[in-house]
Structure 1
Amino acid sequence: MKPSMHFSAAALACALLAGSPFVAGTAQAQRSSQTTQLRVTGFDVEQVDRIEPGAELNFTVWGTAGAVVLLQIDGGRRTVRLDEATPGRYQGSYIIGRSDRIGPESRVHANLRQNNRVATAMLGEALQVGWPVPGDTAAHAPEIQSVGVVREPGRGRADALRYTVRGTPGAQVSVQLRGSQSRNVVLDEVRAGEYVGTYVLPQGDWVDTEQPLVAQLRVGNRTVQSSVPNAYAGVNFRARRADNFASCQDCATVQAVNEVVVDGEGRVLGTVAGGVLGAVVGSQFGKGDGRTAAGVAGAVGGALLGREIQKRHNQRTQYEVIVRMNDGVQRSVVYAEPPAFRVGEQVRVVGDTLERYAR
């Protein structure tokens, strides 16, 4: 009978253990904790037309109910906490401040936390309408799609050029202006991927319409350029390059190139070395022969003669270029070294020097 009694007791113990409410609940909790995973099932933002101070970004996150959801925006100064509006749906907003550095391409991360577990997700769309998905390296590869230039009306007598470049959004874009002055014109992004800039040509300046128009687009440390030949073919300039010289206020034609001798005070003595001193002394005393001049010079103790000898000792050669401006006025420009200008050549007067007029 003992074996039989032992079997009955074991069977009773198993029956009691299987029917115990506490043990059953513990096992069920263990199975629930293993099957229930903390996760984010959805992440959305109401895109705005422009990222700027005062713009409100409204976010929605879907996921495990009963959790705490925090958002971190790249360039933002504070963390956003979303409220659980309905079980498993969390909502909140962020108003962009002046101290924020949030851009259309800023990434947004969501952290859904429950007890000691955390699930994370990244927003899969841009904050601004029309921008590519943040982190999409293929979309951010620098690309220039088109380059154009037109003459902008309403600028009076001056020529104003409006440049337009279309390409990768969120870039730094410029065009190279070639002509009387070489410069880079920086364009502003007026819409996603559309860059516009206007340059007003100062009076007398011109653009070399025969050169290709070069645009540059930079994203991060990557740069791409596009060279467009004949970009100015359809631009209706008020004064084209062929007519620029006649209308140029700073332009002139070389009339003469003279080699001159000046004394120590910079006064022109002439081009013939011999007789210069005699001419200077003679001019001091009017008419008379050499004996009269010598007598007078002796009477003044030779002081004047000494000064003239000193000036002659310090004399040097300069080069004077005489030009006739387009308005008929003559001007002279002095060089210490022989200039490379010829009579009849067209030049521009820039300050105290001359530049060849580029055709």
Structure 2
Amino acid sequence: MTHANRVSAAALACVLLAGSPWAVAPAQAQRSTQTAALRVTGFDVEQVDRLEPGAELNFTVWGTPGAAVMLQIDGSRRQVRLDETTAGRYQGSYVVGRSDRITQESRVHANLRSGNRVATATLGEALQSGWPLPGEAALPEIQSLSVTSAPGQGRSEALRYTLRGTPGGQASVQLQGSQARNVVLDEVRSGEYVGTYVLPAGAWVDTQQPLVAQLRLGDRSTQTRVAEAYAGVNLRATRAGYDACVDCATVQAINEVVVDGEGKVLGTVAGGVLGAVVGSQFGKGDGRTAAGVAGAVGGALLGREIQRRNNQRTQYEVVVRMTDGVQRTVVYAERPTFRVGDRVRVAGDTLELRR
């Protein structure tokens, strides 16, 4: 083969090769690989305690290196650009403004762009701690429940209940004892619910029963039971104290009354009749008037009324409330030294001051 023929053959081979599909296969394969490699591998946010103006949301996206990443937050005024701090790691923050409408239900979308190719991802957690993934039903959670003593009024005792859990809910505890009832707790800080209950006089708490709390969020609720919630509480009004002191009571009132010779309280009507009879006999009336009255009511009745009137005396009735809520009255011939509110013990027909 001549030199010219060799050149022509080589040129023909190049032309044939250029027209062959094998000539472009490597470039197509490379482009295909690059398209498949453009992706988001991770998406994270530092959750805040409360979504309010001034709250800073810090985002991190992991994905293909060398790209540009933009975030769109539902309810925000603008997009958020993330900087590539290390290869394939993009970070940025957004401060919630007063005109934003970002809520616990807001979704966040990330766009990772390289040239004319884009990979997208949606944040898989809520922006506020304690909230579920946007679009899912809320599942409230109780993290802790505690009881402490609180200052009461006078000699009364009070209990302070604290529950920590999912914010934005409605919390309550069930008080077991002489007066079973629900104590509503107020959310004083995000996820912290507090309530104080002052025990009425004579009431007691069954500290042997588990303390039950409930947290409701929308139409979903959860409960927890703490077996020894009162273990560190110094409380006098307990079921154990009630069982050990069935004759204990609290002074409710001290009444001064006037009774006749037979121990009966002189009422208004009886006092009025007796006053008319006695006044007619010993006052300005004469014997004929007295005899007229005596003839009307009977001589024996008049004599008995005069004797009862002459033997009247003052006595003192001390009204107490027992630990089971029942009221009793103890009578004293002399003025007692008790005061309203004193804690006493009933011993037969008398009272003993209890410290």
TM-score normalised by L of structure 2: 0.48
TM-score normalised by L of structure 1: 0.48
